[in-house]
């Protein structure tokens, strides 16, 4: 008790608002993405007076969460959001859910009405704790200013450890008032008795996994976003190279394994590559790492990879055997488990009498995979000559060429997202930034903004469509204010493309409310009105040149409006319902 009093005697006296500003600084926060309002004005004033942590004023709170999310995905550090009570908080909800579905570390500070007004339907009151409960990793409501430093430390700890995720702190206005000060000390670390994510995998399970992997004759490594989140990419590559096994990545995992490596099969799943889906379906051993057997991967679960034994590594036990039962479950952080697994494999290989894995079997497996690749590999230029119009795939290939495969690429949701995932070969993790789990249209532009702020000298492209870009187009204004020279690549087809594709395939081409008719804005005038540059591309011959022109304007935001063939579909596409991994449409009239 005495020690505590002494410590507090030496501590600085701060108001609740000042504590928040200082705690964010002490936590090493680089940017706050937010929007002020009544309930958070004390906090904003404290931030303004302290002047230490830059704040990015978005034009809609949803964009604050996406920008923080993009920042987090690109850097690996938690994104920070500050919004006011009521509509500020509810506008942030879509972005919080987006981060939750993709396990992105984020700390959201939401204002709340004064404590004595809570529950009285006060102006701009909403139950943020209740509204956000199913879409947060955890949440806190502050009751007193003195709780704030430790609460903020806990929020960052929870958001960024274990399986990461968003954490909300709801802060009633009265506890941030400037005229009441309390001793401030920011804890160096926190301990929660009820929260201790696994730090190592079970060694017995790891040995079993090593044995099964070495005995495999038709192995596939199936890795997801967890490998990126858990910083396991180098070890994944080492493991794959050591064994010579093929690797496929989920939509969230792209970049975890180098996209242009010959052992890479491409993305798997609903719009996965033929060879990736075929390899999965015919595998005898699947090593799933930081992936969650999402329904967009598995197709019909009961028909999923019938001959495969499954090893599943995940830091979240609830992800294991949730949809597909694992034969060897391993709970633990990807990095630690992969390290132990590699060591176990090497030990087994040294002690084994024969050479493991079986080189002949592996060679036969690769021969088979290469036959699949040759037969129906990524769609190459088959219709380029047939259509007068630019094909969407060509646009992504042009983007890849011009950026030399080294850009950060954010996307929105729809056909353009799938084309980008298929055709931009990501060789590094954290370069492909998209809303995989929730599928949030409107994610791309604000996310790109967050990425560009974190990496001002890097190329950042936002691949989008007319539907998605208009869901957060107001952020063009934020981009001007904070000088984020994002390159927006709009695949212009005048439809909600993915909706149209499903309507073509399943509703006999009845385009129920999936076209804008003649109502689209003149994007050139629009982006110019926002102070940016617009470039239209209508001819195939101009594509690379215009793309290069856009990226040459290093300090300007450029909106490339590329008119593409509106009839193109994304292929391969899983046959559904009742299809397995191997059942795919390869084109409009070819089904395997």
Partner 1 sequence: MRRIISILMENEPGALSRVVGLFSQRGYNIDSLNVAATEDATLSRLTLTTFGDDKHIEQITKHLNRLVDVIKLVDLTEGAHIERDLMLIKVRAEAQHREEIKRTTDIFRGQIVDVGPRVYTIQLAGTTDKLDSFVAAIPEADILEVVRSGVAGIARGEKVLRP
Point out which residues bind partner 1 (CB under 8 A). 129-130, 133-134, 137-139, 141, 158, 192-195, 316-318, 321-322, 325
Please name the helix (run of DSSP H) or strand (run of DSSP E) that holds residue 155, with its range, or none: helix 148-160
**173 assigned to active site:** yes
Question: Judged by CB, which is closer to partner 1: 235, or 310?
Answer: 310
Q: What is the DSSP letter of 564?
A: B
Report in angstroms how near the CB of residue 129 gets to partner 1 at its nearest. 6
Question: Judged by CB, which is closer to partner 1: 181, or 321?
Answer: 321
Which tokens go with 256? 């975890």
Question: Judged by CB, which is closer to partner 1: 319, or 422?
Answer: 319
Question: Judged by CB, which is closer to partner 1: 190, or 480?
Answer: 190
Report in angstroms how near the CB of residue 218 gets to partner 1 at its nearest. 27
Report in angstroms how near the CB of residue 23 gets to partner 1 at its nearest. 19
Report in angstroms how near the CB of residue 143 gets to partner 1 at its nearest. 8
**124 assigned to active site:** yes
Catalytic-role residue among 153, 173, 335, 582: 173
Residues forming a β-bridge with 169: 109, 140
What whole-number distance in Å separates Cα of residue 162 and Cα of residue 170?
23
Report in angstroms how near the CB of residue 317 gets to partner 1 at its nearest. 5
Q: What is the 3-state secondary structure (H, E, C) of 500-535?
A: HHHHHHHCCCCCCCCECCCCCCCHHHHHHHCCCEEE
Report in angstroms how near the CB of residue 88 gets to partner 1 at its nearest. 20
With a CB cutoff of 8 Å and minimum separation 6, the contacts of 460 are: 407, 408, 409, 410, 448, 451, 452, 484, 485, 486, 487
Question: Judged by CB, which is closer to partner 1: 132, or 478?
Answer: 132
Report in angstroms how near the CB of residue 151 gets to partner 1 at its nearest. 12
With a CB cutoff of 8 Å and minimum separation 6, the contacts of 450 are: 31, 33, 66, 67, 68, 69, 70, 71, 72, 74, 79
Closest CA to 387 of 563, 574, 524: 563
Residue 582 · residue 592 · CB < 8 Å: yes
Catalytic-role residue among 114, 124, 349, 474: 124
Report in angstroms how near the CB of residue 157 gets to partner 1 at its nearest. 10
Catalytic-role residue among 12, 123, 539, 588: 123
Helices (H), 352-496: 359-376, 392-402, 415-423, 444-454, 466-469, 475-481
The percent helix, strand, coil of the chain (3-state, each to 5) is 40, 20, 40
* Residue 118 three-state SS: coil
**278 assigned to active site:** no
**120 assigned to active site:** no
Question: Judged by CB, which is closer to partner 1: 325, or 352?
Answer: 325
Residue 133 · residue 139 · CB < 8 Å: yes
Report in angstroms how near the CB of residue 191 gets to partner 1 at its nearest. 12
Dihedral sign, CA of 294, 300, 301, 303? negative
**Inter-axis angle of helices 444-454 and 61-75, to 10 degrees?**
50
Kindly write down the DSSP assignment for every residue of 287-347, as one continuous string: EEES----HHHHSSGGGS-TT-EEEEEES-GGGTTSSS--SEEEES-HHHHHHHHHHHHHH
Catalytic-role residue among 18, 61, 466, 475: 61
**573 assigned to active site:** no
Report in angstroms how near the CB of residue 154 gets to partner 1 at its nearest. 9
The burial class, CB within 10 Å (0-12 / 13-18 / 19+), for 321 is middle
* Residue 219 three-state SS: strand
Question: Judged by CB, which is closer to partner 1: 141, or 472?
Answer: 141
Question: Judged by CB, which is closer to partner 1: 154, or 532?
Answer: 154
What whole-number distance in Å separates Cα of residue 330 and Cα of residue 344?
14
With a CB cutoff of 8 Å and minimum separation 6, the contacts of 392 are: 415, 416, 419, 491, 493, 564, 565, 568
Catalytic-role residue among 151, 270, 278, 498: 498
Question: Judged by CB, which is closer to partner 1: 103, or 472?
Answer: 103
Question: Judged by CB, which is closer to partner 1: 158, or 486?
Answer: 158
Residue 526 · residue 505 · CB < 8 Å: no
Report in angstroms how near the CB of residue 198 gets to partner 1 at its nearest. 11
Question: Judged by CB, which is closer to partner 1: 225, or 392?
Answer: 225
Residue 442 · residue 468 · CB < 8 Å: yes
Q: Any idea which residues carry the catalytic annotation?
A: 61, 123-124, 173, 498
């Amino acid at each position: 008790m005495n020690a505590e009093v002494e410590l507090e005697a030496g501590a600085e006296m701060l108001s609740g608002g000042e504590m928040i500003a200082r705690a964010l600084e002490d936590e090493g926060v680089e940017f706050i993405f937010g929007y002020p309002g009544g309930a958070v004005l004390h906090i904003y004033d404290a931030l303004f007076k302290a002047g230490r942590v830059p704040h990015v004023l978005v034009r809609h709170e949803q964009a604050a969460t996406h920008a923080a999310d993009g920042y987090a995905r690109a850097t690996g550090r938690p994104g920070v959001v500050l919004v006011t009570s009521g509509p500020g908080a509810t506008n942030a909800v879509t972005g919080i859910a987006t981060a939750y579905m993709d396990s992105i570390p984020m700390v959201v500070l939401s204002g709340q009405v004064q404590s004595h007004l809570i529950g009285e339907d006060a102006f701009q009151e909403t139950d943020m704790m209740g509204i956000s409960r199913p879409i947060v990793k955890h949440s806190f409501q502050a009751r007193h200013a003195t709780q704030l430093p430790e609460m903020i430390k806990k929020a960052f700890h929870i958001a960024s450890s274990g399986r990461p995720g968003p954490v909300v702190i709801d802060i009633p206005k009265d506890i941030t008032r400037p005229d009441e000060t309390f001793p401030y000390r920011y804890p160096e670390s926190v301990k929660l008795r009820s929260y201790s994510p696994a730090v190592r995998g079970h060694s017995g399970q790891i040995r079993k996994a090593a044995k099964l992997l070495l005995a495999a004759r038709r192995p596939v490594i199936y890795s997801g976003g967890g490998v990126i989140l858990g910083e396991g990419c180098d070890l994944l590559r080492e493991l794959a190279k050591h064994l010579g096994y093929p690797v496929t990545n989920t939509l969230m995992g792209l970049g975890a394994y180098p996209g242009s490596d010959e052992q890479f099969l491409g993305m798997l799943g609903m719009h996965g590559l033929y060879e990736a889906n075929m390899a999965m379906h015919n595998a005898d051993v699947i090593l799933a790492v930081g992936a969650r057997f999402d329904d967009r991967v598995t197709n019909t679960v009961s028909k999923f990879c019938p001959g495969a034994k499954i090893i599943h590594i995940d830091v979240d036990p609830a992800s294991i055997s949730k949809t597909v039962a694992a034969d060897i479950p391993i709970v633990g952080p990807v990095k630690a488990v992969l390290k132990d697994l590699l060591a176990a494999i090497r030990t087994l290989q040294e002690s084994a009498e024969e050479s493991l894995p079986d080189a002949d079997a592996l060679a036969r497996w690769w021969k088979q995979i290469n036959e699949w690749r040759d037969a129906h590999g990524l769609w190459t230029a088959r219709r380029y000559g047939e259509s007068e119009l630019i094909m969407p795939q060509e646009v992504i290939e042009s983007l890849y060429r011009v950026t030399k495969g080294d850009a950060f690429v954010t996307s929105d949701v729809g056909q353009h997202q799938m084309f980008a995932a298929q055709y931009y070969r990501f060789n590094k993790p954290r370069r492909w930034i998209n809303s995989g789990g929730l599928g949030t249209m409107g994610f791309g532009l604000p996310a790109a903004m967050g990425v560009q702020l974190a990496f001002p000298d890097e190329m950042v492209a936002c691949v989008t469509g007319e539907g998605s870009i208009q869901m957060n187009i107001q952020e063009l204004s934020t981009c001007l204010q904070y000088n984020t020279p994002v390159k927006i690549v709009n695949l212009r087809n005048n439809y909600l493309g993915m909706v149209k594709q499903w309507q073509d395939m399943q509703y006999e081409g009845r385009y129920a409310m999936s076209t804008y008719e003649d109502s689209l804005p003149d994007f050139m005038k629009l982006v110019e009105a926002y102070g940016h540059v617009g470039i239209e591309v209508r001819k195939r011959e101009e594509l690379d040149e215009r793309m290069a022109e856009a990226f040459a304007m290093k300090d300007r935001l450029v909106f490339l409006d590329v008119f593409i063939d509106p009839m193109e579909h994304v292929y391969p596409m899983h046959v559904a319902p009742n299809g397995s991994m191997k059942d795919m449409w390869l084109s409009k009239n070819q089904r395997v």
